[in-house]
Amino acid sequence: MIFAVDLLKPFSYEFFRNGLIIATLAGALCGLIGVFVVLRGMSYIGHGLSHAVFGGAALAAVLNLNYFLGAGFWGLASGLMIGRVSRKRIIGADAAIGVITTASFAMGLALQARFGQAKRSIDAVLFGNVLGVFTSDILAVAGVGILSVVVIVGLYRKLLFATFDPEVAGVSGVNVPGMEAVLMVLLSATILVTVRVIGVLLISALLVLPAVTARLMTNSFGRMLWLSPVLGAIFGGVGMYISWYADIPSGAVIILAGTLVFIAAYSAVGVRRRAQLAGMSHH
Amino acid sequence: MKSSPGADPILMKCEHMSCSYGGAPVIENVDISINRGEFIGIVGPSGSGKTTLLRALLGSIKPVHGKVERLPGLRLAYVPQLETVDWNFPVTVGEVVGMSRPQRLMRPKSQNSELALIEDVLERLGLGGLLQRHIRELSGGQQQRVFLARALIQKPDMLVLDEPTAGVDVRTRHEVLHVLADLNESPPHGDGIAIVLTTHDLNGLAAHLPRLVCFNRTVIADGTPAEVLQPYFLERTYGAPMEVLQHGGMPVVLEQGGDELRNRLNRSNAS
């Protein structure tokens, strides 16, 4: 009985309840958007955009602007710029991301060094601060989550076609650059609202881990699209809960929990594939 | 765009068309017209601009000179090279075929009537019962037919295929050719779909088609295989001397140095 009370103890604190809700929602949202990030080979874009958002957040802090306004505008502009530069194919997408986002990150660091008073909120963006969230943060993540679900369900086939086979999709009447822009906007918005939960340094992992784990579990795009957010929510919620007892920063525990599940899925799939191959060699 | 009375309607016509990707033209001064129900093969060496020509026909690149005219309301469908497909993408046969269909608002999954339509097309192409299979789990011929199914479900007037028999074995090549011939055949036995494909396979595929275009940055020759598969045109197309023999009423193209094959064909013809 005493043990059960201990297990439920963290729920008696509002800051923990809020942290658990936002970690679960952020995990689900990153899991959903992560499907496209992984399948389109955009992992590096996710990583780069989170750094770009840091530059915008730093500028907003220095200018006393609203965080969402500064970081959001900056992130969106960076995302669209990366898409535009890489589509022109003059330089590769990875190089475009390297230039645009590291410049933004460096600007954030410079502002932090020059204007010390902005340091606190900038640290929150770098490392995350899941226990210091406000109701507005929860509403922002929930809002972007609902928007993402509506957009992805509404444009499901076009997004799938443009992701799987962009050239044929274009010939078949799908506005492929339009779909890419939609995904960039959703990715930027996701990073914007989740970056304060788990931080710049770990966000790309939460965009990738649920999706690659879901990919190992299914061969269907439709199933991956609900499996990945479910896994992301579990990673977020369980990681947050364990971090309370382990006394380790929640962002790190969330990612480590996801990594363990990924390793388990990878090992299981490895055994199954080997068995399938062995079976095929008998035919 | 109008057709002469009594003739099959012209689906598409390119006049003095040149296309580029920003630099020098990749294809130049191309004149070609495609009629309803035609079956056309485009042959040429690697880098000759065949795929660019297909893209121009499909409208995915715009000509920098000249023009492309299409019959109003023309429905085009494209089957890409299998080599360009990401076989690790998590997508089932049903998802591949269904992705090209318009979606009802907030209803991404196929409803019963649409599912029946997808199953009909798959059944017709010999892919019945494979709806839930991942595309990597299929044979080469089945994989090619899945992408044909995705094109057919759009009910096209004209089907464009890029190297449909590249990298496939002889049996698969026959399977694909039979399916295409059925689709091209006039109603009621077939669909009467105009087909345009590119190929490297002069003897196994191109020589069997009703119309052939030799292409190297522009149209070198356009006609029946007997008219087009001539040493003069082939040398201009491929930049190397080639020999053409007749075997069983079909032209057989030999590269220079094909002495052994020529001797075998001569022996076969003599017997």
pLDDT for residue B177 = 87
Q: Residue B133 above 60 pLDDT?
A: yes
Q: Residues A206-261: pLDDT tens digits?
A: 899 999 999 999 999 999 999 999 999 999 999 999 988 888 888 888 889 999 99
What does the alpha-carbon distance between residue A200 and residue B97 come to, in Å, rounded to a whole number? 39
Pairing of strands B194-199, B211-215: unpaired
Q: Residues B243-252: pLDDT tens digits?
A: 888 887 788 8
If pLDDT is split at 50, 70 and 90, which confidence band does A147 have?
Answer: very high
Q: Which two tokens stand for residue A224?
A: 């991956």
Name which of A124-128, A161-165, B153-157, B223-227 the model is least confident about.
A124-128
Average pLDDT of chain A to the nearest whole number: 85
Question: How close A93 comes to chain B (CA, Å)?
Answer: 19
In whole angstroms, how far apart are CA A84 and each of A79, A89, A191, A262? 9, 9, 19, 33
Cross-chain residue pair A171–B59, CB shorter than 8 Å: yes
Q: Residues A86-145: pLDDT tens digits?
A: 666 667 777 878 888 888 888 888 887 787 655 656 666 666 777 778 888 899 999 999
Across residues A255-273, what is the average pLDDT? 88
b/e burial code for range A134-162 (CB count within 10 A of at least 16 → b): eeebbebbbebbeebeeebbebbbbbbbb
CATH architecture of A17-281: Orthogonal Bundle (1.10)
**In chain B, at which residue ranges do the beta strands (DSSP E only) sit?**
10-20, 25-35, 39-43, 65-70, 76-79, 158-162, 194-199, 211-215, 219-223, 242-247, 250-255
Domain definitions of chain A by residue range: 17-281
CB B104 within 8 A of CB B111: yes
Question: How close A169 comes to chain B (CA, Å)?
Answer: 8
If pLDDT is split at 50, 70 and 90, which confidence band does B257 have?
Answer: low
What does the alpha-carbon distance between residue A240 and residue A244 come to, in Å, rounded to a whole number? 7
Name which of A125-129, A183-187, B21-25, B157-161 the model is least confident about.
A125-129
If pLDDT is split at 50, 70 and 90, which confidence band does B159 have?
Answer: very high
Q: Residue A280 above 50 pLDDT?
A: no
CB B206 within 8 A of CB B43: yes
What does the alpha-carbon distance between residue B202 and residue B254 come to, in Å, rounded to a whole number? 10
- In terms of Cβ atoms closer than 10 Å to its own Cβ (0-12, 13-18, 19+), residue A217 is middle
ipTM for the predicted complex comes to 0.88
Q: Residue B5 above 60 pLDDT?
A: no
If pLDDT is split at 50, 70 and 90, which confidence band does B232 have?
Answer: very high
pLDDT for residue A251 = 81
What does the alpha-carbon distance between residue A252 and residue A229 come to, in Å, rounded to a whole number? 19
What does the alpha-carbon distance between residue B110 and residue B94 come to, in Å, rounded to a whole number? 9
pLDDT for residue B11 = 95
pLDDT for residue A283 = 36
CB B32 within 8 A of CB B56: no
pLDDT for residue B171 = 83
What does the alpha-carbon distance between residue A3 and residue A169 come to, in Å, rounded to a whole number? 57
What count of other Cβ atoms lies within 10 Å of the Cβ of residue A92?
11
Tell whether B203 is within 8 A of chain A (Cβ).
no
What does the alpha-carbon distance between residue A17 and residue A30 come to, in Å, rounded to a whole number? 20
What does the alpha-carbon distance between residue A204 and residue A25 come to, in Å, rounded to a whole number? 16
Question: How close B116 comes to chain A (CA, Å)?
Answer: 18
* Residue B206: DSSP 8-state: G
Tell whether B61 is within 8 A of chain A (Cβ).
no
Q: Residue A277 above 60 pLDDT?
A: no
Q: Which two tokens stand for residue A269?
A: 């799939």
Q: Which of A154, A172, A221 sits opposite B91 (nearest CB)?
A: A221
B270 versus A65: which is more confidently predicted? A65
A200 versus B67: which is more confidently predicted? B67
Contacts of A42 (CB under 8 A, 6+ apart): A36, A183, A187
Cross-chain residue pair B134–A219, CB shorter than 8 Å: yes
Q: Which of A153, A172, A224 sits opposite B108 (nearest CB)?
A: A153
Cross-chain residue pair A220–B59, CB shorter than 8 Å: no
